[in-house]
Amino acid sequence: IYYPLGLLMLRQFMMTIPKSYDEAAVCDGAGKLTIFFRVILPMSKSTIMVAFVMHFVSVWNNFFSAMIFLNSTAKMTLPLGITVLNTTDGNSNMPLMTSAVLLTLIPPMIIYIFGQKYLMQGIWLGQKKEKTSNTGKNEAIPVTVQSSQSESFQAGDLILTVSLISR
């Protein structure tokens, strides 16, 4: 399945992985496929999950392509079926439409619940910055966020931070 944004995200993430991991694996006797599957791919798990969730949601909510290619009501997707339930004369069956919208929300929520661990890891990795210390070594340090109430939060408190910033 072709998803350009996911490919771009994966490429950009893989470009940030230091070459020293590859060099260490080569010193241990690993080949190119072993390096990819045992070193690079496990590091990219969170990015792959983010790309998967974004692609799944875009395909699940795809309305335009389904409207063009499907001509049978038996094969309609849920977003397209919801518009068929809506009538222009105001006699729509609202309980049926509401239940259809709820059915449309269930699969993306399940995907999000199972992938939440990897999504949060991706957010955590995105907030780490590398700085060079006096010894010349690169150290990864977490970013702390200052709220308007001068409280400091780590990246694990993301929901609380977002709620304080939005006030």
| Tokens (6 digits) for 166 | 């939005």
Residue 26: per-residue pLDDT = 93
Beta carbons of 39 and 22 less than 8 angstroms apart: yes
Q: At 54, which amino acid appears?
A: M
Q: At 144, which amino acid appears?
A: T
Pick the more confident residue, 87 or 166.
Answer: 87
Which has the closest alpha carbon to 50: 92, 8, 86?
8
**Distance from C-alpha of 28 to C-alpha of 36, rounded to nearest angstrom:** 14
Query: Is the per-residue pLDDT at 61 higher than 90?
Result: no
What DSSP designation does 37 have? I
pLDDT digits (tens, 9 = 90+) for 83-137: 877 776 767 778 888 888 888 889 888 988 888 887 777 667 655 544 444 555 5
Residue 126: per-residue pLDDT = 59
- The pTM is what? 0.63
**Distance from C-alpha of 77 to C-alpha of 94, rounded to nearest angstrom:** 19
Neighbours of 155 (CB within 10 A): 17
Residue 79: per-residue pLDDT = 83
Give the length of the chain: 167
> CA-CA distances (angstroms) from residue 79 to 38, 51, 57, 64, 113?
40, 22, 12, 10, 22
Contacts of 104 (CB under 8 A, 6+ apart): 60, 61, 78, 79, 82
Buried residues in 40-56 as b, exposed as e (16+ CB within 10 A): eeeebebbbbbbbbeeb
